[in-house]
Amino acid sequence: MSRLREPPRLVQWTKRGQTDWYIFYTDYTSGTPKRKRVLCEALGAVNAEQRRDKLNAFKDKEVFERADALKQGGVLAFDSPLLAEIKNYRDDVTQRGKTRETNPESRQGLSSQSIRAINDALDHFETWLKRPGQKALATGHLDRQTLQKYFDHLATTPGLRGKTKIQRSAATLNHHRRIVRACLRWINSLRPRRFPDFEELAVAFKPVGGGHRVAKAYSPQQLVDFAEAALAIDRGERRVEIERTKAKFGNAEAFEMGIYQRPATPIAQLFLLLVLTGCRRQEALDLKWSNVDFERKGITIYAQKTGRERFVPLAGAAEGEVAPKFLQLLKVWSSKTEREFVLPHNDIPAPAFAKSAWADACQRAGVQISPQRLRQNFTSYGASMGVSASTCALWQGHSTVIAERHYRAPVPSRKKAPTFEKAMGLDTLISELTAEAKAAHEGG
């Protein structure tokens, strides 16, 4: 049974110094119920008693109109097409993205990365809803069994990573659950409500177990190997193995071919930012020189997820020294550039993540390193050096509970050292890069 819409009500509205009284009511005579308003003065109601009489008249009128709409099969709130409501939500997401794009400093709206994730998940949901027999599904007919069928479909249907088919992990399925849940919650927040029993739907959004991978920390040698492989790629020393069969003769051949195209954003510089600050990938890409404070010996990062800002001290922190040599390297880099962003980006508008170059560095170093794993690595090294989880959480922009539960791991083969960069084995490499940068700056 459909839930009643909000009854007619009186609203006092002041605009430009003029106060008017309106009656807000629902019109059931146009097929789809629509919320409307009418000026009391236009109805001849100029005092409190007359306005009260008109309001009661509208209440009586709505009772009869709603009953008549039910008899004629009229469209009520619970009969709203689900696909149409999802489109309204996506329009709202787009608008929130424009808000962030227009004024990024306000931290209002949604980031472009969040919008891409939302649209990708809802594309899958809409495609499934458009299958035969489901396209006309109304909000009032959506139940948790239908939602569970959709999530079962995601679990059993291979996804695509590039051109490679993959089975979705528990973490990916939980990601889809969160986005669909946010969409349906937004729809249900509209008035009148679109779902008769939204609490029942919530059962389908319960996350499945195994969604979080075990935290991982890398040994100093693994970090150094990756950094050196990334440097070689940034400098153009990149070769790939080619295996092919000639179509004309059917001869198979294998050989190495050099790749001379360098990534627009050097992955070695991105790696150093990620591993020595514990920030998120997009936060590193968005970092500007205006966010680097050499007097305070640290950087200010605007949290990609929460919109909050935090300060990461690279040197001089009472809790522990992080990367004083890397701070000096940043100072040398800043003295030889006039660009806005910390990371180079050649001719493209802003720094970007070179996914293929990063994957190539992993292959050459013989270790699978991801930006997210480097956040876990930062927390783990901090714990091994006696820096509390709450301090690392403050520097990285998440809660202490999350740091302890999902980010901390044993550090293999770590040597005792006074700084994070030395404990990770990167101090020597950073000193060499600083010397090279100084020489290039003086020579140029």
| pLDDT over 80 at 253, yes or no | no
Query: Starting at the edge strand that comes first in sequence, how are the strands of the sheet with 309-313 ordered?
Result: 292-293, 298-302, 309-313
Which range, 3-12, 124-133, 152-161, 298-307, has the best average confidence (pLDDT)? 124-133
What is the mean predicted confidence (pLDDT) over 236-245?
A: 69
What is the mean predicted confidence (pLDDT) over 171-190?
A: 93
Q: What percent of the chain has pLDDT over 70?
A: 85
Encoded amino acid at 39, one letter: L
Q: Where is pLDDT greater, at 60 or 280?
A: 280
Please state, in angstroms and rounded to a whole number, the distance separating the CA atoms of residues 304 and 113: 9
Two tokens at 307?
């919109």
Report pLDDT for 34: 78
Which range, 16-20, 138-142, 143-147, has the best average confidence (pLDDT)? 143-147
Please state, in angstroms and rounded to a whole number, the distance separating the CA atoms of residues 193 and 187: 8
| pLDDT over 90 at 433, yes or no | yes
Please state, in angstroms and rounded to a whole number, the distance separating the CA atoms of residues 264 and 266: 6
| pLDDT over 70 at 266, yes or no | yes
Burial of 14 (0-12, 13-18, 19+ CB in 10 A): exposed
Report pLDDT for 1: 35
| pLDDT over 90 at 16, yes or no | no
Please state, in angstroms and rounded to a whole number, the distance separating the CA atoms of residues 390 and 410: 17
Please state, in angstroms and rounded to a whole number, the distance separating the CA atoms of residues 249 and 166: 34
Question: What is the dihedral sign for C-alpha 345, 302, 113, 107?
Answer: negative
Please state, in angstroms and rounded to a whole number, the distance separating the CA atoms of residues 39 and 32: 22
Continuous H helices in 370-426: 371-384, 389-396, 400-402, 420-423
Report pLDDT for 132: 84
Two tokens at 19?
């106060």
- State the architecture of 220-443 in CATH terms: Orthogonal Bundle (1.10)
This prediction has a pTM of 0.65
Name the helix (H) or strand (E) containing 18: strand 18-27
pLDDT digit string (tens) for 341-373?
Answer: 999 998 899 999 999 899 999 999 999 999 989
Continuous H helices in 163-204: 170-189, 198-201
What is the mean predicted confidence (pLDDT) over 235-261?
A: 69
What is the mean predicted confidence (pLDDT) over 10-33?
A: 81
Which range, 30-44, 192-206, 215-229, has the best average confidence (pLDDT)? 215-229
| pLDDT over 50 at 191, yes or no | yes
pLDDT digit string (tens) for 377-400?
Answer: 998 898 888 898 889 888 988 776
What is the mean predicted confidence (pLDDT) over 147-176?
A: 87
* Total length of the chain: 444
Domain boundaries, the chain: 9-75, 78-205, 220-443
Closest CA to 293 of 257, 266, 331, 255: 331
The string of DSSP codes covering 269-314 is HHHHHHHHH---HHHHHH-BGGGEETTTTEEEEE-TTT--EEEEES
What is the mean predicted confidence (pLDDT) over 115-137?
A: 91
pLDDT band at residue 3 using 50, 70 and 90 as cut-offs: very low
CA atoms within a 13 Å half-sphere pointing along the CA-CB vector of 33: 30
Q: Return all residues near 301 (Cβ < 8 A) that are at least 6 apart.
A: 277, 279, 283, 287, 291, 309, 310, 311, 312, 397
| pLDDT over 70 at 76, yes or no | no
| pLDDT over 90 at 262, yes or no | no
Contact 375, 280 (CB under 8 A): yes
Encoded amino acid at 96, one letter: R
Q: Where is pLDDT greater, at 81 or 33?
A: 81
Two tokens at 359?
């994957």
Please state, in angstroms and rounded to a whole number, the distance separating the CA atoms of residues 253 and 51: 89
Q: What percent of the chain has pLDDT over 90?
A: 45
Encoded amino acid at 333, one letter: W
Report pLDDT for 57: 87
Contact 280, 310 (CB under 8 A): no
